[in-house]
Structure 1
């Protein structure tokens, strides 16, 4: 016997026709709006640098302008994902909602970020082997301006996660999550934030290297810092690839909620043994599960659903019971 059910926290997900809605993800209009702002600011800076580089015949300005274009693309991808997930939220083709559109965007953004790191590494290596004349005053001014723009964008994106309330009502395990945790859970916002943060980090490294070259004649510092920056950006992108790829592949059986489900069943007054369990994420802090139980006394799936209802992150629960006398599939 199989019964799909929703926890009390997701009661609003039921439609007037009695069918269960699959819009499990929570909209974050503030994050969507802040991401758009960051995108337009980055685009404006990109255009200014490209035009300025062409007008003043500065390769440094042109290179940084095109480099910033990759971050503008990533921010645009993040903004598009928010819009698509919101507009398609009630599209019945999506079995478990549209939240993974945002995760797919973060995965794609991480690949782009990895490409940026590789390009930085190649260009820095070439510059280290074949050093060229550096216009220090112009390059320093550019790096400082780029850093200011990136800090503004980073503030916009980090503050954008306040649009959610990810705290859980049950106090048994989670408690209130910090702002850093909220940003970590929104993979789409995190991807955009890492792009901006990576650009800010490279700007800081560039400023240090350029000052070192100007004051002490250490021209090698500029490409050396580029290599360090490439390693830092590569590390961030690999971490984002890992986290977003894990969600896309439904590799969630090591999530804390799995152990919580097992604890509930083990502590149930009605003896039951788990024969099959599948858990996957359908929202930033929301999970679906399919649970197959072998019981010794007649009972209903509703009983176990109520037992699991304390875990509000379980928004879509399907319980199958193997009653006494029924054959058990091995």
Structure 2
């Protein structure tokens, strides 16, 4: 446990620093966007707000990963980050729609913008986003942090586009470049938000985890020697990367010790092939009328619930 704690603490420190930098830039882009009448800068504030939310969610996820389950939260707090991500994604969809409507109005009725302010603030954004991306790069092996790193990298590019837009307005005087840039940024927000909505909604509705085929899980279990049939199979996500499984498995009538070895083999396969660490497997026998999974009354752990996630 000591090997995990220190990187987690460092990860939290980096995420806190990233939150501070991003929050300062969100305020700056919004305030200067209003002053410069630049919808592109205001859109950037919205876009970077999505980054801030992503960093906050990652921080919450890292924090809650260390919280143990209890009698009222038997699965722990793994879905807190997923629920927050779902709500935040909905908010970002509304934000992107507002930017779309405002940008179309700006195209119809152009407003003079201050390209020099646009360029200065956007240059600060490139520096800020680049710094945060560099801080997060050290921990990008973690899928949670990697998603935020890619988010920040993408924003570095979109902020650079605002600088280009400012330069175009400065040298040509074409003001419609500003609302067009804001439309492109709104599309980026909408695209990333819809992806988060799909993923989080699937977890909240206890759908089969993304990139996992139920038929492949069934085949892996059914091909274990001694297994005759696998049915009533359910696989769902507890959190973004924590998966659980419940199933009925039919075996021939056999001693309890053989049942236990079959259960161990099933769980080993599920862990290695699909990263499923929490399983509840009910054994049924073929060709006998006993209510137990095996011919002799087995120990509950051998044929009932088995949880690798809590074993040591």
Task: Give the TM bin, normalised by the shorter chain.
Answer: 0.7 to 0.9
Gaps of 5+ in 2: 2-6, 292-312
Q: Does 1:278 align with 2:234?
A: yes
Q: Does 1:326 align with 2:285?
A: no
Structure 1 residue 38, shift from structure 2 partner: 1.0
Gaps of 5+ in 1: 1-11, 13-26, 165-182
**Contact 1:279 1:290 survives alignment (8 Å):** yes
Closer/same/farther in 2, CA of residues 88 and 117 from structure 1, 3 Å limit: same
Structure 1 residue 114, shift from structure 2 partner: 2.0
Could you tell me which residue of structure 2 aligns to residue 314 of structure 1? 276
Equivalent of residue 261 in structure 2, options 277, 297, 303 = 303
SS in 1 for 2:139: helix
Could you tell me which residue of structure 1 aligns to residue 140 of structure 2? 161
Structure 1 residue 233, shift from structure 2 partner: 1.8
**Contact 2:47 2:189 survives alignment (8 Å):** no
Structure 1 residue 123, shift from structure 2 partner: 2.4
Structure 1 residue 132, shift from structure 2 partner: 1.4
Q: Does 1:206 align with 2:162?
A: yes
Could you tell me which residue of structure 1 aligns to residue 86 of structure 2? 107
Matches within 5 A, 1:106-255: 106-162=85-141, 164=142, 183=143, 186=144, 190=147, 192-193=148-149, 196=152, 199-252=155-208, 255=211
**Contact 2:246 2:280 survives alignment (8 Å):** yes
Could you tell me which residue of structure 2 aligns to residue 33 of structure 1? 13
- Over the aligned positions, Cα root-mean-square deviation in angstroms equals 3.4
SS in 2 for 1:256: coil
Deviations for 1:191-226, whole angstroms, at most 9, x for unmatched residues? x55664564344233222222222223221111121
CA distance in 1, matches of 2:37, 2:108: 18
CA distance in 2, matches of 1:118, 1:46: 19
SS in 2 for 1:90: coil
Q: TM-score, normalised by structure 1?
A: 0.70
Structure 1 residue 320, shift from structure 2 partner: 1.0
SS in 2 for 1:45: helix
CA distance in 1, matches of 2:107, 2:131: 31
Closer/same/farther in 2, CA of residues 307 and 153 from structure 1, 3 Å limit: same
Deviations for 1:161-195, whole angstroms, at most 9, x for unmatched residues? 33x4xxxxxxxxxxxxxxxxxx3xx3x863x5566
Q: Does 1:290 align with 2:246?
A: yes
Structure 1 residue 107, shift from structure 2 partner: 2.0
Structure 1 residue 307, shift from structure 2 partner: 1.4
Q: TM-score, normalised by structure 2?
A: 0.74
**Contact 1:71 1:196 survives alignment (8 Å):** no
Structure 1 residue 235, shift from structure 2 partner: 0.9
Deviations for 1:10-38, whole angstroms, at most 9, x for unmatched residues? xx9xxxxxxxxxxxxxx944443322111
SS in 2 for 1:298: coil
Could you tell me which residue of structure 1 aligns to residue 73 of structure 2? 94
CA distance in 1, matches of 2:239, 2:33: 44
Deviations for 1:116-171, whole angstroms, at most 9, x for unmatched residues? 32232122222211111121122111111112212222333344333x4xxxxxxx
Equivalent of residue 43 in structure 1, options 23, 32, 35 = 23
Structure 1 residue 82, shift from structure 2 partner: 3.0
SS in 2 for 1:252: coil
Could you tell me which residue of structure 2 aligns to residue 176 of structure 1? none
